[in-house]
């Protein structure tokens, strides 16, 4: 199933997904949507990894990894970046990235070589 908001394909929950969602349900009344929402909130939390890096949405990230950075509206194109620095123990955690851009785009915007850092 295509998820417009996340720009990704989403699998429909399997029988075991539904069982674990019900097990995670914060309410005493078993409810699949509430259980799935509770699970999403847990995996959305940024957790520091032993030896550096962090984990979020079931994915591990380390310094020098390449990532897509979700744009903020109205820009709809994902940006390619490399993780330069991770401060996972800070609250909120801070990730510094170096954006990669098309040579022409960067040279038009800035007279100096374009290195921009931002939070994820
Ligand atoms: Zn519910």
Three-state secondary structure of the chain: CEECCCCEECCCCCHHHHHHHHHHCCCCCCCHHHHHHHHHHHHHCCEECCCCCEEECCEEECCCCEEEECCCCCCCCCEEEEEEEEECCCCCCEEEEEEECCHHHHHHHCCCCCCCCCCC
Same domain, 3 and 36: yes
| Distance in angstroms (rounded) separating the CA atoms of residues 84 and 62 | 9
Number of domains within the chain: 2
Q: Measured in angstroms, how far is the CA atom of residue 40 from the centroid of ligand 1?
A: 14
Please indicate, yes or no, whether the overall pTM of this predicted structure exceeds 0.85: no
Q: Measured in angstroms, how far is the CA atom of residue 70 from the centroid of ligand 1?
A: 29
Q: Measured in angstroms, how far is the CA atom of residue 42 from the centroid of ligand 1?
A: 17
Domain encompassing residue 60: 46-120
Q: What is the pLDDT of residues 88-120, one digit of tens each?
A: 888 888 999 999 988 777 777 655 555 555 555
Q: Measured in angstroms, how far is the CA atom of residue 39 from the centroid of ligand 1?
A: 13
Average pLDDT, integer, range 14-31: 85
Same domain, 81 and 96: yes
Same domain, 60 and 4: no
How many CB atoms lie under 10 A from the CB of residue 47? 13
Same domain, 53 and 14: no
Same domain, 33 and 55: no
Same domain, 59 and 114: yes
Q: Measured in angstroms, how far is the CA atom of residue 111 from the centroid of ligand 1?
A: 54
Confidence of residue 87 (pLDDT cuts 50, 70, 90): very high
Is residue 28 within 8 A of residue 35, CB to CB? The reply is no
Q: Measured in angstroms, how far is the CA atom of residue 1 from the centroid of ligand 1?
A: 22
Q: Measured in angstroms, how far is the CA atom of residue 37 from the centroid of ligand 1?
A: 9
Q: What is the pLDDT of residues 32-69, one digit of tens each?
A: 888 889 988 988 888 899 988 999 988 999 999 999 99
Q: Measured in angstroms, how far is the CA atom of residue 34 from the centroid of ligand 1?
A: 4
Same domain, 120 and 93: yes
Same domain, 78 and 23: no
Same domain, 57 and 35: no
């Amino acid at each position: 199933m295509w998820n417009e908001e996340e720009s990704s394909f989403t699998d429909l929950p399997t029988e075991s997904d539904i069982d674990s969602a019900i097990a995670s349900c914060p309410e005493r009344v078993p409810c699949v949507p509430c259980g799935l929402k509770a699970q999403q909130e847990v995996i959305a939390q940024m957790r520091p990894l032993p030896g550096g890096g962090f984990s979020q949405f079931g994915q591990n990230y380390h310094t020098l990894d390449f990532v897509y950075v979700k744009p903020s509206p109205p820009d709809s194109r994902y940006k390619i970046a490399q993780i330069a620095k991770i401060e996972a123990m800070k609250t909120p955690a801070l990730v510094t990235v170096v954006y990669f851009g098309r040579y022409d785009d960067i040279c038009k915007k800035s007279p100096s070589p374009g290195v921009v850092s931002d939070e994820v």
